[in-house]
Copies of this chain bind each other. A is one copy, B any other.
Amino acid sequence: MRLSRYFLPVLKETPSEAQIVSHRLMLRAGMIKQASAGIYSWLPLGFKVLRKLENIVHEEQIRAGHIPMLMPTLQSADLWRESGRFDDYGEEMLRIKDRQGRDMLYGPTNEELITDIFRAHVGSYKDLPLTLYHIQWKFRDEIRPRFGVMRGREFLMKDGYNFDVSKEAALHSYNRHLVSYLRTYERMGLQAIPMRADSGPIGGDDTHEFLVLAETGESEVYYDSEITDLRFGEREVDYDSVAECQAVLEEFTSRYARTDETHDEALFNQIPEERRRVARGIEVGQIFYFGTKYSEPLGATVQTRDGASVPVHMGSHGIGVSRLVGAIIEASHDERGIIWPEGVTPFHVGLVNLKQGDAEADAACEAIYGSVLALGLDPLYDDRDERAGGKFATMDLVGLPWRITVGPRGLKNGVVELTSRRTGESEELPPEQAVEKLAQIYAGHRVPMAI
């Protein structure tokens, strides 16, 4: 993309309404604009990151054998009356009357609707296990929306639902989700720690939240410092293997790690003192096993192998896709702006022409631009007639992890400059070697497939 043809309305001033760094940087980098309280328009740069996260989530869910679909944003109140949650849910649920006076709501979650689909179409253990998921906009009418997309009212969430014939099978689904979430967050350049949590209005006993450590996190967290040394890495896990998924669960949840809701001081004090940590975390996902809490009232049953009819065992599993954009920025920025991890960056490289209009510099930039595109990578070329300082400040603010700087002086010696946004280190290279290096850097960060 050429910046002269893009829409990237960066702000010079720091917006006064933004209290946390991700909100400030998303506004300043032209990623979002508030449409009304807690509701945002995603400007082109923000949409690009959001869509990339969405594609990564899809890819990892499909890899785990989960099946994508899409439920609507608006739901009829009737199903929620069947489960009892229409009255229970509280004022965060946005209740709506349509022109016929029918009670509707903007879905804050989808347990009822998915269970209704299941009960209409599935009747036998032979059709199980089954996990369906979607990535759809949700609405929760927060009394005091704040922190930008981190605590908005309209937000994008992946929510998945597993259906299994027994508790044992459902717990494997739980573990499978845990594994797929660890992979998902690491691909996004995040360390998200599974912590024992409270189930809230979803219900159920078994639940883990995934938290990204950050000073601005909304939750206080307590953990054994050994947990931050764990990495999922490149390992291959067979998602059908009960033992393999169970082993990952044990590896990542056997050490103490809890949010303030479930914190147990006595247990915490059993950790050697030098490993005890108290910090803050941002919740970016949660998994639940809640058994038959919805299948019983909604009558979602299956026939077992021996002919009995049993309510299906379920769990639900969420990833906060839009809030992840904020969480990544909270975890990865400096005083000059955002620093995108390679796996989620909106553009793979920024190309800065120090002397727009200089025939040689323009030609070199065009050649590099073409070579980067030919690699299947996405460059952002600042082809505007602006001062170098302004171009650098924009690139630093929007946070592309790599920058190639092209100027007449370097070209005389046959080199351009390749700079890492994270370390600030530059090296001078012939243009084709700079492009080759980019190819190597991004070889481990595949562009997600189209879903």
Contacts and interface: CB of A to CB of B under 8 A. Distances in A.
Interface stretch (A2-10, A173-181, A182-190, A255-263): A2-10
Contact of A67 (B7, B69, B448): B7
Nearest to A7: B67
A141 B76 CA distance: 14
A141 B35 CA distance: 22
A9 B121 contact: yes
Interface of A is mostly: mixed
Contacts of A5: 65
A7 B72 contact: no
Interface string A131-154: 010100101010100000000011
Chain A contact patch, size range = 35 or more
A264 to B, nearest CB: 35
A374 B75 CA distance: 40
A39 interface: yes
A359 interface: no
A229 B143 CA distance: 59
- Residue from A41, A46, A55 with most neighbouring chain B CB atoms (10 Å): A41
Given A96-B96, A450-B55, A451-B51, A44 B132 contact: yes
A298 to B, nearest CB: 14
Contacts of A73: 73, 137, 154
A249 interface: no
B76 A35 contact: yes
A222 to B, nearest CB: 33
A135 to B, nearest CB: 10
Contacts of A30: 121
Contacts of A36: 74-76, 78, 102, 104
Given A41-B71, A447-B450, 4 more contacts: A5-B65, A7-B130, A35-B116, A448-B450
13 contacts: A6-B67, A33-B117, A42-B69, A42-B71, A44-B67, A72-B137, A72-B154, A73-B73, A74-B106, A74-B139, A94-B99, A447-B450, A450-B451
Interface of A: 5-7, 9, 30, 33, 35-37, 39-44, 46-48, 50-51, 55, 65, 67-76, 78, 91-92, 94, 96, 98-99, 102, 104, 106, 113, 116-117, 120-122, 127, 130, 132, 134, 137, 139, 141, 143, 153-154, 447-451
CB-based closest 5 A-B pairs:
A9-B121, A36-B76, A450-B450, A42-B70, A41-B71
